Homo-oligomer: A and B are copies of this chain.
Amino acid sequence: MENKKVLFLVGEEFEDIEVLYPFYRVIEEGFKPIIAWKEANSKVTGKHGYVVISDISFKEVRPEEYVALVLPGGRGPEKIRTLEEVKNITRKFFELKKPVAAICHGPQILISANVVRGRKLTSVASIKDDVIAAGGIYIDDSVVVDDNLISSRHPGDLPYFALTLIKALKSLK
């Protein structure tokens, strides 16, 4: 039987550790991380120079095939949030009520996908006002859970972000 897949949406200059930590972490738990970017089989470089290879293009993604969505931060979200496919993928995960885990600047994609209104969430402090403007209920905590939405503020929150994501993934089984 194939491993269940977790989808990562990345953009150039992503915050390296916010991709790599959950990426390796879901492998630990027996899931298969899949990296989506504008093109498949391409090198995408983080702010600190780590390189990941995309498995699939945004256009090819079918949310039904994944158990959860991870939205890492850094400058990546700004590079991809304007793409219709990125917004559609994100909205679809919410419709399917599958776990969506966003950290740091990751919630910029949530804003673009228009799924923030009325939801409790957190983000890096510098986009707090955008989250609030978009109708989100901003909570300054290491990890915030609102139904299927898991969010954290910055790399220092990664242990709590990962624990919560893993718990959600396990409860799916």
Contacts and interface: CB of A to CB of B under 8 A. Distances in A.
Interface in A6-57: 16-17, 20-21, 24-25, 27-28, 48-50
A112 B125 CA distance: 11
Copies in the complex: 6
A78 B124 CA distance: 10
A78 B126 contact: yes
26 contacts: A16-B17, A16-B48, A16-B50, A17-B17, A17-B50, A20-B21, A20-B155, A24-B159, A25-B25, A25-B159, A27-B159, A28-B163, A48-B48, A48-B49, A49-B49, A82-B125, A82-B128, A82-B129, A108-B129, A108-B130, A111-B130, A111-B133, A116-B133, A127-B130, A130-B134, A133-B134
Interface of A: 16-17, 20-21, 24-25, 27-28, 48-50, 78-79, 81-82, 108, 111-112, 114, 116, 125-130, 133-135, 155, 158-159, 162-163
Q: What 6 A-B pairs have minimum CB-CB distances, sorted nearest first?
A: A133-B134, A48-B48, A27-B159, A78-B126, A112-B129, A130-B130
